[in-house]
Amino acid sequence: MINWARYRTCGAALVLLWLAAGAFILQSLTRAEEGFEDPNTAALINDLISRNQVVIGQAASGRALVVTRPGAPLDADSPPTFDDIQPPDNPDLVFNRRIWERCLTLLQQYTAAANWGLAEPFDLALQDSRYRAVSLKPINFRYVNPYELPRTEEMTVPITSSARNAREGLRVLSQGVLLLLRPDAPDREAPLGPAQGDSEGVLVARRAVLHAADGSRLRLSLGEAAQGGFVLLVQPFDAKDEARGPGRQVGAGEYFLWNGRSFTVVAAKRGAPGQTQRAGGAGSPQFGDIIFSKAVNGRPTRIHILGESTTNLLGVRARGRTSFFDDAIRRDSVSDVSLTLVPELQAGSYYLLRKALEPVEIHPMGRPRRGAVTILDARTGAILANAGYPGFENRWIQGRRALISDVDLGRSPAQERHMAGSTVKVLTVAAGYLLFGNAHAELLPPSDNYLAIQQAFLNVYGEELGAPLEQPGAGVTPEANRRFAEAGGRGKVKQNFLDLLEQVFYVTPLVCRPCNSQSPPQCRPCHESLVRGNIASFFDERHLIDGLYPDRSQFPVLSASSMSAFRNYALGGEESRFTTMRLAAVLGTASDGKVISPFIVEALRTKEGHTLEGGGDAVKDFPPLANGLDSRRNTMISGMREALRKVLIPGGTGWFIEDDDSRQHLGTKPGREGDYGKSGTATYENDRFQDSLFVYRHGDYLVAVWLERADGGAPVESAVAEVLHKKFERHPAHRLTDRLVRLIETLEEGQ
């Protein structure tokens, strides 16, 4: 009965089966895992949104997805059924019940991603007094092999702040609060709390008092520790102002709880570069005072001590990957890194940025307004602060599983270039001095556009414009157009101006594409390097370019093909774009006569224990571009300082409206007699709100501020008390600059 042939067949089939399985497995090894893509569904969702078949937006009746603010939770509720949907008109879109289910799934996933601040998958627009999604951004479900990622345990390189610029004392950190208690600060008690109207910020004092909403207080003061150094003395008081117990001492590296908030105490100590700051008394090399590693829920986690103020500058870990600067450190050879940042200035810049922009959000634009602040040390070129708003809330990024590309986490606005507005006139006038030994410096205090264009034309083409412009507004006239046709254009740009632009002010005359764009950049390099010299070999240059280095600033005179374009560039509009860092550096160059290339790594220690310093070439003399440049430079320094000083006093544009509705000039306050700066606004077509800018010099501090569409425009100026035009809508960058200078002054007091 037995059919042996069949048994033999089965034996052979077994061999074939294994060969086939082996071949399948080998083939699978050669394949890379790709992201999920579904262009049809994405296009279909966009189609449904555009035809209002799906409503995503703030709901008036709880029937739609609610977006209260980007990153806030969305609420999915009752989308229409498949039978109620009107099919798309586009015949190329596949639409059936199954794909409709997929649409719903995708919408939920995108919604969840947006809920946790991981992305902004929808473009929102204000319609009928509520935000509604107008389109879905095509987002791939990008994917990386998590096993190829660097181990999180290896992310242990502590990042510390500048020891050179540090102040002795103790830092007290809480959410949104940084107190620097210094023994040499003025003897005062700095208040902080609801009673003062400040719930967050940076304070520098010898003592501080925190006020709670229930009337209780907490007094913080410095004491001397038995083993040297400082200790924090905390004394709680109840609402009746009676002390609750004898108080307590809290050492560096410890924390305490008060009124539902936790406070951490961190030591600050001045030292030489390479003597890194430690986050208190942990004694471990793993704890720096900007970023360190600790286990949170069992996972090694990078903690940004300064919170959101550094997350978008130095990078966060999202989806198993660390971005930006933190990822660029070669961990196999670096023991720890010290940055030039001053914690008080970095955190203070961020908090003040947020505070400056929040009031303007009563005029929403569909996403948070952005802002940037850069503070440089004019002597050394060190970046003391480089804050961009909005930042990342680290816990949101780490909390939920992300489904989407971390590219959408975005860069800091401080690393992007923006329209410079009238702050570009600093460059224009300074270049005039350097080229011709004289310039229309008188244009600076009133920010005269007419003269600015004339000066720019002379600088760029070597000839006077010699044609009238419209008044007011310095609009282009037919005569000016004719004159441009004669003397202007790409071929007429003077080489000495281009040399000056690129080698002294480090600004490109071209329109640059972003470094990470698919097409090759027109200008090289397309970024400003912040880590140079032998120290650069300890970092991954590609990650630095992607995440840390700011865009190259551009004054694209070579692209000016008409008088109109030239006019706009000369006034800091359109593609005349600068980073706040470059604006601050240009002010430094114009006022000190030095070429400034900012740097951020003060020092690093190698695994072998060697300390390497960075920034040696950050401030240097002008290159030998032309005869007589030195003498013209001296003229420029005196001329610029004098003219820029007038900006800050009555008659200049450097004013703002204080809380008491009074008009304040930035340079008239005590201690600011030697300060100078320049205001700027950059206008948008069909938008009342303008970008507000300011560049400012206080002592050795160079400050540049940019606020996106935060300036309400001229109507406010004529009606300060007008209800619709709040005081924070006029020159908010001026006001912010004032607050920043105040912070610098408190830091400097007693030094």
Partner 1 sequence: MPNDAGSEPSAPLQDPSDSGASLYILGGLFLLLAAYLVLTNFWRMADRVPDAVVLTGFVTELPPGQQRSFGYGGDGQDQSVDVPFQSPEMSNVSFRISREGAGYLIKADDDEVVVRRGRILPGRERLAPGSPEALELSDGDRFEARGTLGRASFTVSIPEDSNELRLRLARPLFYDIRRDANGQNRDQTRLVFGPAPEPLPVAHDELLFRSHFREGRPVRSYRISTLDNHLRLFAEGELGDEVTAQAAAQGSQPPPPPAPINLRPGDEAIVGTNIISYGHHVRPFLGTQVNVVRLFAFKLVAAILLAGVALLVGPHVRWPRGFLIYSCAGLFVSISLVLSGRDALFPPHSGRFSEYLTILYYCVLFLCMLRIPLSSGEETSSRSDYLRLLALYPIFFVIYLLISLPFAPTSYGLWDVFRAGVKVLFQCVGALAFALATNWVAHRALRRINEAEWSPSLMWRWILSPLVAILVLVFATWMAGGQEALTLGIGRIHLPTLLLPVVIIWVSAAARAAGEAEEMTGWWLLIISLFGLMAVGFYRFFSDDNGGASLLAAGLFFALFLSTRRRLVPALLALVLVVGGFGVAWLSRSPRFGLAWGGPEVGVLYFDQAKNLRLARDMAREGGRGLDLLIPAEVRSNIHNDLIAAFVAGYFGWLVFAFVFFAFFAFYYHLFDGLKTSYASRFVPGDDYDGEGYFDRARETLLAAGGSLILTFALQAAWVMTASLQKIVPLTGLDLQPISVSTISVLSFIVILLGTVTLAHTYREAEVNT
Residues 225-244 touching partner 1, rule: CB under 8 A, are 234, 236, 238, 244
Q: Tell whether omega for the bond before 364 is within 30 degrees of 0, i.e. cis.
A: no
Q: Positive or negative, the Cα torsion across 49, 53, 54, 58?
A: positive
Q: What is the DSSP string of 356-415?
A: HHGGGGGS--SS---EEEEEEETTT-BEEEEEEES---HHHHHHSPP-S-GGGG---GGG
Please report how close the Cβ of residue 254 comes to partner 1 at its closest, in angstroms. Answer: 7
Q: How far is the CB of 292 from partner 1 (least distance, A)?
A: 8
CA dist., res. 134 & res. 124, Å (int): 6
**Residue 394 CB, nearest approach to partner 1 (Å):** 8
> Is residue 146 near partner 1 by the rule CB under 8 A?
yes
Q: Which of 28, 227, 518, 519 binds partner 1 (CB under 8 A)?
A: 28
Q: Closer CB to partner 1, residue 238 or residue 541?
A: 238
- Residue 664 as a binder of partner 1 (CB under 8 A): the answer is no
Of the candidate spans 26-34, 327-335, 417-425, 675-683, the one that interacts with partner 1 by CB under 8 A turns out to be 26-34
Distances (CA, A) of 553 to 266, 423, 526, 580, 581: 37, 13, 9, 9, 9
Shortest Å distance, C-beta 112 to partner 1: 6
Could you say which of 90, 196, 199, 262 contacts partner 1 (CB under 8 A)? 262
With CB under 8 A as the contact rule, which of the stretches 245-253, 347-355, 704-712, 731-739 interacts with partner 1?
245-253
The span from the CA of 576 to the CA of 681, in Å, is 13
Name residues contacting partner 1, limited to 73-102 (CB under 8 A): 73, 75-79, 81, 101-102
**What's the residue count for the chain?**
751
Sites for partner 1 among residues 500-529 (CB under 8 A): none
Tell me the window of 50-58, 161-169, 293-301, 336-344 that interacts with partner 1 (CB under 8 A).
293-301
**Region binding partner 1 by CB under 8 A among candidate stretches 281-289, 424-432, 441-449, 483-491:** 281-289
Q: Where are the beta strands (DSSP E) in 536-629?
A: 577-578, 595-596, 601-606, 611-613, 619-620
Residue number, 262 or 534, with CB nearest to partner 1: 262
CB of 283 to partner 1, least distance (A): 9
Within 162-201, which residues bind partner 1 (CB under 8 A)?
173, 175
What tokens does 398 get?
């780490």
CA distance 387 to 374: 6
Pairing mode, if any, of strands 595-596 and 601-606?
unpaired
Which 590-649 positions form the footprint of partner 1 (CB under 8 A)? none
Taking alpha carbons only, the member of 672, 596, 583 closest to residue 373 is: 583
Q: Which single residue is written with the structure tokens 């639409």? A: 95
Residue 1 or 226: which CB sits closer to partner 1? 1
Q: Which is nearer to partner 1, 141 or 436 (CB)?
A: 141
The DSSP bridge pattern shows strands 207-211 and 189-192 to be: parallel
Site for partner 1 in 99-118 (CB under 8 A): 101-102, 105-106, 108-109, 112, 115
Smallest gap from Cβ 502 to partner 1, in A, equals 42
Does 15 contact partner 1 by CB under 8 A? yes
Of 18 and 684, nearer to partner 1 (C-beta) is 18
Closer residue to partner 1 in complex, CB, 301/553: 301
Measured from the CB atom, is 41 or 380 closer to partner 1? 41
- Per CB under 8 A, the list member of 282, 714, 719, 724 interacting with partner 1 is 282
Stretch in the footprint of partner 1 (CB under 8 A) among 71-79, 434-442, 495-503, 723-731: 71-79
Q: Which stretch binds partner 1 (CB under 8 A): 396-404, 449-457, 683-691, 724-732?
A: 396-404
Q: Give the dihedral sign, CA 198/374/538/518.
A: positive
Structure tokens at 476: 């282009």
> Which of 231, 657 has the CB closer to partner 1?
231
In angstroms, give the least distance from the CB of 402 to partner 1: 10
Our CB check for partner 1 shows the closer of 11 and 715 to be: 11
Q: Which residues contact 33 (CB under 8 A, 6 or more apart)?
A: 143, 145
Give the position of tokens 């938008």.
687
Rounded CA-CA distance 34/141 in Å is 9
Residue list 336-375, contact with partner 1 (CB under 8 A): none
Sole binder of partner 1 in the list 55, 303, 536, 626 (CB under 8 A) = 303
CA 74 to CA 66: how far, in whole Å?
5
Place of tokens 């999202």: 318
- Residues 55, 256, 532, 606: which binds partner 1 (CB under 8 A)? 256
Query: CA–CA separation, 732 vs 402, rounded Å?
Result: 36
Stretch binding partner 1 (CB under 8 A), from 143-151, 324-332, 591-599, 618-626: 143-151
Q: How far is the CB of 210 from partner 1 (least distance, A)?
A: 11
Q: CB 342 → partner 1: shortest distance, Å?
A: 17
Q: How many CB atoms within 10 Å of residue 485?
A: 11
Q: Which stretch binds partner 1 (CB under 8 A): 20-28, 129-137, 558-566, 605-613?
A: 20-28
Q: Which residues pair with 177 in a beta bridge?
A: 174, 201
C-alpha distances in Å from residue 316, one per residue of 312, 325, 347, 370, 657: 7, 9, 17, 19, 37
Amino acid at 711: D
Smallest distance from the beta carbon of 161 to partner 1, in angstroms?
13
Q: Does 287 bind partner 1 (CB under 8 A)?
A: yes
Residue 357 to residues 363, 555, 698: CA-CA distances in angstroms?
Answer: 11, 27, 23
Q: Count the residues of the shown chain that bind partner 1, applying the rule CB under 8 A.
A: 100
128: left (phi over 0), alpha (psi -120 to 50) or beta: left
Q: Which is nearer to partner 1, 245 or 609 (CB)?
A: 245
Count Cβ atoms within 10 A of the Cβ of residue 645 and give its class: 0-12 exposed, 13-18 middle, 19 or more buried. Answer: buried
Residue 259 Cβ vs partner 1, minimum distance, rounded to whole Å: 7
